[in-house]
């Protein structure tokens, strides 16, 4: 359960940092009158905070899967899965998608509507390419006899990539709606916000994919081992 | 801290809200069925959760009938008994307590108590309820599925949960249970995001975090914990579904079923226990923290005294929330895990008792020299303190490995967690309903019926669960369908079991008094006015009762003080609402407090 505890530990640090700025040591019974922090002039929109918290939830889901992976792989029946070469191409696709959305975000900031549309479309297409690539990787593995029920390593491969893919699919629904809006509206504030939210979600999923990839290839395990040797 | 800009009369200017952000219903269906108003959603949540609670209550009756009078009721065979146990446990913990505290009280109280017009994502909030309802329907639907519901026990431990010897294991039961849990978690995440972000972003002007009522603090912390803990159950459910449907071996070890070796090997049942309890232990506090918060407010209001140690109460809530994530394996002392783990988890378990004890001391010190009104909500709140202390003390027994090992499989554990996680939160729920019903309906619940309900429930719960500790110490095992002839079980144990069953039937039936009161008072209750308990918090200061859509009329409230200004010396009444700018001084000679 080290991964999830590490993840929650990071969240706890963020929470503690935030709470430390909220005057938790104040004595509210002495403070009468109209004092109190004013909302900032340009408050963070609730949807951004909402997305941040949602990502914490998704992060803890992923960290728990990784914890389960780490515990299960120590048992003697574990046989590693060879990583299909196409995963590297997929990784590049997802990186491209993430970059394109970043570009769309900056284009939205410049009120550059054509640039915004191109960025969004490019992100959508490369994300679809990533998902199709993942399906190809699945086909390749099943073709080579690495079936779901044959070994826990196979099962984890399908489950981890599947869970990640489903989250990207959900993101594509939101991206699709944003693309549709970018054709209907000019670069309004709420459209800019939608693009920003999509970009954040995409960066998060790209990061999560890198973590998953490092776990599936065994690099994460090697890294942990090296750290352990350094410490002992 | 920035000082708030003051208007001409020294009164703060309310926050501006854009009108377009608030959703407005246009028809009867969007107003009462597919409503996006948090108050309507709260009532929908509460109604469904209480209905599930009644089903789970009947299931507990059926179990008790078997335990008290074994063999008398032929329709309760061993399979049915385990199905009743499983469904009773899961329904009560997840679909009643979690849904009621967060979905019910959270939805109703958060926007009103922090001075918002509604939740920040009303559409997602509406979706949350309907997804929850779907989860409930799938769960209840498993009663009608081939093979009936799962009988795996509420902890659903593999491998037995998906083997053919367990009711529903190789049929629909376990699949429907796992799917229902996954749907519930998705629905809860939608709601939970709302509760947390509303507290963070939609507070009225002047409502600093440290001016929030403890109810909001409790629900806020618990929602955050639930958002992070439920994924563990989700992961466990996904993996077990794979094991059951696709034949993977995440949790399934090599096993012989009915003399036939199965095609699985190497899986780790312990892995599931880790995942389950990583959710399961925070879940205890997900239920307890809102209860702590609500009880603090009930005690302060009905004792006309400011809460003692408000800051410490907030810190303790946060500390309990954080610590509850590192105690999970104290549910697994007998699972065969590394004994050193047990040492670590026993230590954290004892540490978490410290902030919890702080809360209990503060409640008692709030009562000290207070002007205690023994209203029905107050009776329930006081009963909660006693019950929680009782359950907490037996928790200290079970938190220690050497004491837990012999007691783990006995009725002592059943008695312990029913006291601390069953009876105690339910008492708070009742107290809270008696307290806030006037705000929801504009009418008071009947006092006499309420007192009958309280005394029978309170004394009855003790008559049920106190003797159960004794049975446990005697070694009577839990989970057993019937005791049979065992040399160490004296005849008096059977008599005690029959006694417990009879009391359980009476206490269960008494809940009908409460249900009757809920419906009867809707029409015939005494009109309550806007603030019948003379309370300080914002929800009692709404311009209309019950609060209409949008809660506050034209202007949002502005907050000038914390939530506990009761019996302030020199004030002309014994409470100062949070949105009252100054203290109105009483005429000389009429001071009190």
Phi, psi dihedrals of residue B440, rounded to the nearest 5°: -75, -40
DSSP run (H or E) holding B257: strand B256-257
pLDDT digits over B307-356, tens only? 999 999 999 999 999 999 999 999 998 888 887 888 899 999 999 999 99
For residue A153, the 8-state DSSP code is H
Smallest Cα distance from A225 to chain B, Å: 21
The alpha carbon dihedral of B65, B67, B73, B79 has a sign of positive
Which residues of chain A are within 8 Å of residue B564 when distances are taken between CB atoms? 29
What confidence score (pLDDT) does residue B9 get?
47
> Does the residue B17 lie in any domain?
no
State CA A78 to chain mean position distance.
27
State the Cα–Cα distance between residues A163 and B234, nearest whole angstrom.
12
The A residues from 181 to 200 touching B (CB cutoff 8 Å) are none
Residue of A nearest to B326 (CA): A5
Phi, psi dihedrals of residue A146, rounded to the nearest 5°: -85, 75
What confidence score (pLDDT) does residue B8 get?
46
Answer whether B190 touches A (CB < 8 Å): no
How many other CB atoms sit within 10 Å of the CB of residue B500?
A: 21
CATH of the domain at A129: 1.20.120.80
Higher pLDDT, B587 or A226: A226
Instruction: Please name every residue paired with B260 in a beta bridge, in sequence order, or none if there are none.
Output: B257
> Does the residue B216 lie in any domain?
yes
Nearest-by-Cβ selection for B268 from A56, A61, A71? A71
Answer whether B267 touches A (CB < 8 Å): yes
For residue B148, the 8-state DSSP code is -
Higher pLDDT, A214 or B485: A214
Question: Which residue, among B313, B235, B223, B218, has the nearest Cα to B277 in the 3D structure?
Answer: B235
> Does the residue B333 lie in any domain?
yes
> Does the residue A192 lie in any domain?
yes
> Does the residue B20 lie in any domain?
no
- Tell me whether strands B260-261 and B256-257 are parallel, antiparallel or unpaired: antiparallel
Q: How many domains does chain A have?
A: 1
> Does the residue A49 lie in any domain?
no
What confidence score (pLDDT) does residue B1 get?
40
Which residues of chain A are within 8 Å of residue B268 when distances are taken between CB atoms? 71-72, 75
Domain containing B361: what range? 40-254+266-541
What confidence score (pLDDT) does residue B473 get?
94
Half-sphere exposure in the Cβ direction for B432 (13 Å, CA): 25
pLDDT range class, residue B230, cuts 50, 70, 90 = very high
Please check whether residue B243 is in contact with residue B249, taking contact to mean a CB–CB distance below 8 angstroms: yes
Question: Which residue, among B172, B132, B169, B138, has the nearest Cα to B153 in the 3D structure?
Answer: B169
> Does the residue B586 lie in any domain?
no
Question: Which residue, among B68, B23, B8, has the nearest Cα to B499 in the 3D structure?
Answer: B68
CATH of the domain at B431: 1.20.210.10
Best probe of the A interface among B17, B182, B193, by most A CBs < 10 A, is B193
pLDDT digits over B78-125, tens only? 999 999 999 999 999 999 999 999 999 999 999 999 999 999 999 999
Question: Which residue, among B55, B37, B223, has the nearest Cα to B126 in the 3D structure?
Answer: B37
Whether the pLDDT of residue A188 is over 80: the answer is no
Phi, psi dihedrals of residue B261, rounded to the nearest 5°: -70, 135
State the Cα–Cα distance between residues B436 and B452, nearest whole angstrom.
19
For residue B256, the 8-state DSSP code is E
Nearest-by-Cβ selection for A61 from B11, B234, B250? B234
The A residues from 156 to 175 touching B (CB cutoff 8 Å) are 159, 163
What confidence score (pLDDT) does residue B14 get?
54
> Does the residue A1 lie in any domain?
no
pLDDT range class, residue B591, cuts 50, 70, 90 = very low
State the Cα–Cα distance between residues B441 and B436, nearest whole angstrom.
9
Question: Which residue, among A170, A168, A164, A133, has the nearest Cα to A66 in the 3D structure?
Answer: A164
Q: How many domains does chain B have?
A: 1
> Does the residue A53 lie in any domain?
no
Angle between helices B173-201 and B78-90 (to 10 degrees): 10
What confidence score (pLDDT) does residue A5 get?
93
Answer whether B275 touches A (CB < 8 Å): yes
State the Cα–Cα distance between residues B12 and B519, nearest whole angstrom.
41
Whether the pLDDT of residue B587 is over 60: the answer is no
Nearest-by-Cβ selection for B227 from A29, A34, A53? A53
> Does the residue B2 lie in any domain?
no
Whether the pLDDT of residue B589 is over 50: the answer is no
pLDDT digits over B30-77, tens only? 888 899 999 999 999 999 999 999 999 999 999 999 999 998 999 999
Contact A23 B208 (CB under 8 A): yes
State the Cα–Cα distance between residues B89 and B153, nearest whole angstrom.
8
Q: What is the value of pTM for the model shown?
A: 0.94
Best probe of the A interface among B201, B362, B537, by most A CBs < 10 A, is B201
Instruction: Please name every residue paired with B571 in a beta bridge, in sequence order, or none if there are none.
Output: B585
> Does the residue B561 lie in any domain?
no
Phi, psi dihedrals of residue B155, rounded to the nearest 5°: -85, -5
The 3-state secondary structure of chain A, one letter per residue: CHHHHHHHHHHHHHHHHHHHCCCCCCCCCCCCCCCCCCCCCCCCCHHHHHHHHHHHHHHHHHHHHHHHHHHHCCCCCCCCCCCCCHHHHHHHHHHHHHHHHHHHHHHHHCCCHHHHHHHHHHHHHHHHHHHHHHHHHHHHHHHCCCCCCCCHHHHHHHHHHHHHHHHHHHHHHHHHHHHHHHHHCCCCHHHHHHHHHHHHHHHHHHHHHHHHHHHHHCHHHHHHHHHHHHHC
Residue of B nearest to A75 (CA): B266
State the Cα–Cα distance between residues B205 and B214, nearest whole angstrom.
18
Please check whether residue B100 is in contact with residue B49, taking contact to mean a CB–CB distance below 8 angstroms: yes
Domain containing A149: what range? 85-232
> Does the residue B15 lie in any domain?
no
The A residues from 43 to 62 touching B (CB cutoff 8 Å) are 43-44, 46-47, 49-50, 53-54, 56-57, 60-61
Whether the pLDDT of residue A158 is over 90: the answer is yes
Contact B6 A34 (CB under 8 A): yes
pLDDT digits over A3-40, tens only? 999 999 999 999 999 998 888 888 888 887 765 555 55
């Amino acid at each position: 359960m080290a991964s999830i505890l590490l993840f929650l530990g990071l969240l706890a640090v963020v929470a503690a940092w935030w709470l430390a700025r909220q005057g938790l040591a104040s004595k509210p019974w002495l403070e009468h009158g109209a004092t109190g922090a004013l909302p900032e002039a340009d408050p963070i929109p609730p949807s951004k905070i909402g997305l941040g918290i949602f990502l914490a939830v998704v992060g803890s889901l992923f960290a728990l899967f990784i914890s389960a992976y780490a515990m299960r792989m120590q048992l003697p029946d574990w046989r590693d899965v060879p990583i299909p070469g196409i995963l590297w191409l997929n990784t590049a696709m997802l990186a491209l998608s993430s970059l394109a959305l970043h570009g769309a975000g900056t284009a939205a900031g410049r009120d550059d509507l054509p640039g915004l549309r191109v960025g969004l479309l490019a992100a959508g297409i490369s994300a679809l390419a990533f998902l199709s690539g993942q399906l190809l990787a699945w086909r390749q593995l099943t073709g080579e006899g690495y079936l779901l029920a044959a070994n826990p390593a196979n099962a984890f491969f399908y489950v981890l990539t599947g869970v990640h893919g489903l989250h990207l699919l959900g993101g594509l629904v939101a991206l699709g709606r944003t693309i549709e809006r970018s054709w209907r509206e000019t670069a309004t504030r709420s459209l800019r916000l939608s693009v920003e939210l999509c970009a954040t979600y995409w960066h998060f999923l790209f990061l999560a994919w890198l973590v998953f990839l490092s776990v599936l290839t065994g690099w994460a395990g090697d890294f942990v081992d090296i750290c352990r040797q350094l410490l002992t | 801290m920035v000082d708030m800009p003051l208007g001409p009369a020294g009164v703060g200017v309310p926050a501006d809200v854009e009108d377009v952000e608030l959703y407005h219903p246009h028809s009867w269906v969007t107003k009462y069925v597919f409503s996006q108003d948090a108050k309507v959603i709260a009532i929908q949540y509460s109604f469904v959760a209480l209905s599930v609670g009644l089903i789970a209550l009947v299931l507990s009756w059926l179990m008790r009938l078997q335990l008290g009078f074994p063999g008398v009721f032929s329709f309760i065979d061993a399979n049915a008994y385990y199905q009743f146990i499983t469904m009773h446990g899961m329904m009560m913990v997840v679909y009643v307590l979690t849904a009621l505290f967060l979905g019910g009280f959270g939805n109703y109280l958060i926007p009103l108590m922090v001075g918002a017009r509604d939740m920040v994502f009303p559409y997602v909030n509406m979706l949350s309820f309907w997804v929850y309802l779907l989860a409930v329907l799938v769960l209840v639907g498993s009663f009608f599925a081939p093979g009936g519901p799962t009988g795996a026990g509420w902890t659903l431990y593999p491998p037995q949960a998906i083997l053919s010897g367990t009711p529903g294991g190789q049929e629909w039961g376990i699949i429907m249970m796992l799917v229902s849990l996954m749907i519930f978690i998705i629905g809860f995440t939608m709601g939970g995001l709302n509760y947390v972000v509303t507290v963070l972003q939609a507070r009225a002007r002047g409502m600093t975090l440290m001016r929030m009522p403890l109810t909001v603090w409790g629900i806020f912390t618990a929602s955050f914990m639930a958002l992070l803990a439920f994924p563990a159950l989700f992961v466990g459910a996904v993996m077990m579904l794979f094991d059951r449907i696709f034949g993977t071996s995440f949790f399934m070890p090599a096993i012989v079923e009915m003399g036939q070796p199965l095609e699985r090997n190497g899986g780790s049942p312990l892995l599931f226990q880790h995942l389950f309890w990583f959710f399961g232990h925070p879940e205890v506090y997900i239920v307890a923290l809102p209860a702590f918060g609500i009880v603090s407010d009930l005690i302060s209001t009905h004792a006309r005294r400011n809460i003692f140690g408000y800051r410490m109460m907030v810190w303790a809530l946060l500390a309990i929330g954080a610590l509850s994530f590192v105690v999970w394996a104290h549910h697994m002392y007998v699972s065969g895990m590394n004994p050193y783990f047990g040492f670590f988890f026993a230590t954290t378990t004892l540490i978490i008792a410290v902030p919890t004890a702080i809360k209990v001391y503060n409640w008692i010190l709030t009562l000290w020299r207070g002007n205690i009104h023994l209203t029905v909500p107050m009776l329930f709140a006081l009963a909660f303190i006693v019950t929680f202390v009782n359950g907490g003390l037996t928790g200290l027994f079970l938190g220690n490995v050497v004491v837990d090992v012999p007691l783990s499989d006995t009725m002592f554990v059943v008695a312990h967690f029913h006291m601390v996680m069953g009876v105690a939160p339910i008492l708070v729920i009742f107290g809270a309903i008696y307290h806030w019903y006037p705000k929801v309906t504009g009418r008071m619940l009947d006092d006499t019926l309420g007192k009958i309900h309280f005394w029978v429930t309170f004394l009855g719960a003790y008559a049920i669960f106190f003797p159960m500790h004794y049975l446990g110490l005697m070694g009577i095992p839990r989970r057993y369908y019937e005791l049979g002839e065992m040399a160490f079980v004296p005849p008096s144990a059977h008599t005690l079991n029959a006694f417990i069953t009879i009391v359980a039937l009476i206490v269960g039936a008494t809940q009908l008094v409460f249900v009757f009161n809920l419906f009867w008072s809707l029409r015939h209750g005494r009109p309550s006015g806007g603030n019948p308990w003379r309370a300080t918090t914002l929800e009692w200061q709404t311009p209309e009762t019950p609060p209409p859509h949008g809660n506050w009329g034209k202007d949002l409230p502005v907050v000038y003080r914390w939530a506990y200004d009761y019996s302030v010396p020199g004030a002309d009444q014994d409470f100062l609402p949070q949105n009252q700018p100054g203290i109105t001084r009483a005429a000389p000679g009429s001071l009190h407090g």
